[in-house]
Structure 1
Amino acid sequence: MYIFNHLLVATDCSERAERAEARAALLVQEHKCDVAELLTVRECGEPEILAQIMNSTVASATALVAENAGRVLAYRADVHKDNYGVQFTCKVRFGRPASEIVIRAEELRTDLVVIGAHGGNFFSDLLLGNTADKLTHLCKSPLLVVKNKPSQSYQRVLVPVDFSEDSRRAAEAALAIAPQADITFLHAFEVLFEGKMQYANVAPDIIDEYRMKAFEDAREQLNQLIGGIEAGGRRMQRAITFGLPGPVVRDYAKATRPDLIVLGKHGRSRIEEMLLGSVTRDAIDQTESDVLVVPAAGGT
C-alpha cells in the first residue's frame, strides 16, 4: 500500500511550476506529510557566466545565484503556508535538472516527486527530452506531472490497466493519492491476429465473435484485478474499449475529463518506446489531465 509521506516539488518558479507547487501543497495538507521540500536546480554553467559579467570569482557568483534563488523559494514557501497552512523547506542545487531531482529524491527517500508540465520546442524535446520526460525514465519514486491549477483534491481519477503487476501498483497508488475520488479502471483490448483475419477475408460475424470473446476475457480479468485491491468499500467503475491503448486512453480522457490519470510504467527501454510509442508519454503530451507515473517494482 502506498503512503505519500515524503514529498519533493521540483520547481523553476514559472507559472506552470506554481501550479505544481499548489497541487503539492494540497497533497501535503491532505496526507499530512512529514517531509515537503521545494527544490530548484540551476544550470551548472550559470555562475561561470555571471562571474564573467560581474568580473568576480565563480564562488562569489555561485553564492549570489544560490542566495537569490533561495530567496524566491522562501517567498513561494511563505505563500503556500498562508494559502494552505503547510510548511515547505527549500533547497537550491546546481547541475542537470533531471539528474539533480533524482539524486535529491533518493536523499529524502521521497514517496512522490511533483513537477509542472512543460511545453517546449518539438525538435529539442524529441532529441533531448524535457525534464518531465527524462524523469519518467529516471525517477524511482512515483512522479506527478501537474498541468492544471488546483482548486480541490482530486475527484475523478482514470487508471488505464493491462492486468500486469505494474497496473496493480498503479491502482494502489491511485487509491492512496486520491482517497476521496471516484476511480475508473480502463482497459483497451484487441483481437489477436484480427488484421490477418481481415486480410484473409474472414467473415465479419466471425471476427465479431472473436471480439466478443476478447471482451468477456478482459471483463473477467478486470474484475479479478479490482477484486484483489483493498479499496476500503469505495465504488470503482469499469470501462473496456476496443482499440490501441494510447488512442483509447487519450479519447476516453478527452470525453470524461478526469482530474488525474494514473499509469503504471513498464520497464521498457527508451529505444522501444521511441519505436512502439508510449502510453505514458501520450498521456502527458496529449491529454489535459494531471498524470501520475508509478514506476515498476524495484525502480524503472
Structure 2
Amino acid sequence: MYHLRRLLVATDCTERAQRAEVRAAQLCQQHGIADAELLTVREGAEPDILAMITNTDVDMAREQAATQASLELERRAGMLKDDYGVEFSWHVRFGKTATEIAQRADEIDADLLVIGAHGGNFFSDLLLGNTADRLAHLCRRPLLVVKNGPRQAYQRVLIPVDFSEESHRASQVALALVPDAEITFLHAFEVMFEGKMQYASVPRDVIDHYRMKAREEARTDLDRFIHAVNPENRQAGSAIVFGMPGPAVRDYSKSIQSDLIVLGKHGKSRFEDMILGSVTRDTLEQTECDVLVVPSGDRGLGIS
C-alpha cells in the first residue's frame, strides 16, 4: 500500500505556482501529513550576475538572493498555514532546476513531488521551462503536475493501464492518494496487423471479427487487473477503447471531465522510456487536467 508521509513542493514563487502549493496543502490536510516542504531553485549563475550588478562578492550576493527567496517562501508557508492549518518548511537551492529538485526529493525521501504548470503550451510555458519533462525522466518518485487551481479534492480520476507492473504500481498510488474520488480504469487496445490487413484489402467483416475478439480479450485482462490492484473491492469504473494510447487517454479524459490522470512510467530500457515518454508528454501537453506520473521501481513510493 502507498503511504503519503512526506511531500515536496517545487515552486518558482509566481502567482500561478500557488496552484501547486494549494493542491499540496489540500493533500497534506486530507492525509494528515505534517512533513512538507516548499522548495525554490534559483539559477546557478544568479549570484554571479547579482554580484556584478551590485559590485559585491559572489558569496554575499548568494546570501542575499537566498535570504530574499527564503522570505518569500516563509510568506507563502504562512498563508498555507492560515488557510489550511498545514506547516511547511522551506528550502532554497542554486543550480539546474530539475536536477536540484530531484536531488532534494531524494535527500528528504519525499513520497510525492508536486510542481505547477502554467497552462497554454505545456512545454513552452511550464514552471521554470520544461522542468516537468526533465523531472519525469530524472526523478524516481511520484510527480504530480498541477495545471488547475484546486477548488476541492480530486473527484474524477482516470487511470490508463497497459497491465504492466508500472500500471499496477500507479494504480496502487492512485487508490491510496484519492480514496474518495470516482476512479475509472482505461485500457486502449489495437488489433495486431490491422493496418496490413486493410492494405491487403481483407474484408471489413473479417477485420471487425478480429477487433471484437481483441476487445473481449482486453476486457477479460482489464477485469483481472482491476481485481488484482483493488483488493478492497472499491467501486471503480472501467473502459475499453480502440486506438492508440495517447489520443485515447486525451479523448476519454475529456469525455468524463476527469480532474486527474495517473500514469505509470516505464523505464527498464531507453526504448521503453521513449515509448512511455511519448504517451506521458501527449497527456501532459494535450489534456487539461492535473497529471500524476508514477515511476518504475519502488524507490520513494512508500509502498509496503
TM-score grouping bracket, smaller chain normalisation? over 0.9
Structure-2 change in CA distance of 1:277 and 1:295 (3 Å): closer
Q: Quick one: distance in 2 between partners of 1:123 and 1:288? A: 14
1:49–1:120 distance in 2 versus 1, CA, 3 Å: farther
| Uncovered stretches (5+) of structure 1, i.e. residues with no partner | none
In 2, distance between residues paired with 1:91 and 1:130? Answer: 21
Alignment map for 1:101-112 (pairs within 5 Å) = 101-112=101-112
Q: How does 1:148-167 map to 2 (within 5 A)?
A: 148-167=148-167
- 283-292 vs 224-233, which deviates more? 224-233
Q: Would you say the 8 A contact 1:118–1:132 is kept in 2?
A: no
Is residue 3 of structure 2 the alignment partner of residue 3 of structure 1?
A: yes
Task: Please state how far the C-alpha of 1:255 moved relative to its aligned partner.
Answer: 1.6
Deviation at 1:254, TM superposition (A): 1.6
Give me the TM-score of the superposition, normalised by structure 1: 0.94
Aligned positions of 1:1-300 closer than 5 A = 1-118=1-118, 130-267=130-267, 278-298=278-298
CA contact (8 A) 1:118 1:130 kept: no
**How far apart are residue 274 of structure 1 and its match?**
6.0
The answer on whether the counterparts of 1:112 and 1:141 sit within 8 Å (CA) in structure 2 is: yes
CA RMSD between the two structures: 2.2
SS of the residue corresponding to residue 238 of structure 1 reads strand
Deviations 1:184-236, CA, capped at 9 Å, x for gaps = 00000000000011111111001000000000000000000011123534210
Residue 15 of structure 1: CA displacement? Answer: 2.3
Change (3 A) 1:44 1:239: same
Percent identical pairs in the alignment equals 62
Contact 1:175–1:231 (8 Å) recurs in 2: no
The answer as to whether partners of 2:263 and 2:280 remain within 8 angstroms in 1 is: yes
- Separation in 2, partners of 1:190, 1:175: 27
The Cα shift of 1:16 comes to 2.4
Counterpart CA distance in 2 for 1:101 and 1:175 is 26
Read off the aligned partner of 1:190 and give its amino acid letter.
E
Question: Matched residues in 2 for 1:210 and 1:69: separation?
Answer: 60
Letter of the 1:38 partner, please give it.
L
Using the TM superposition, name which of 251-260 and 4-13 deviates more: 251-260
Maintained 8 Å contact 2:261/2:290: yes
Question: CA shift at 1:112, angstroms?
Answer: 0.3
Whether the aligned pair in 2 keeps the contact of 1:16 and 1:147 (CA below 8 Å) is no
CA separation in 1, counterparts of 2:266 and 2:211?
A: 26
Contact residue 257 and residue 288 of structure 1 kept, 8 A:
no
Whether contact under 8 Å (2:123, 2:285) holds in the other structure is no
Amino acid paired to 2:108:
L
**Separation of aligned partners in 2, 1:263 and 1:18:** 24
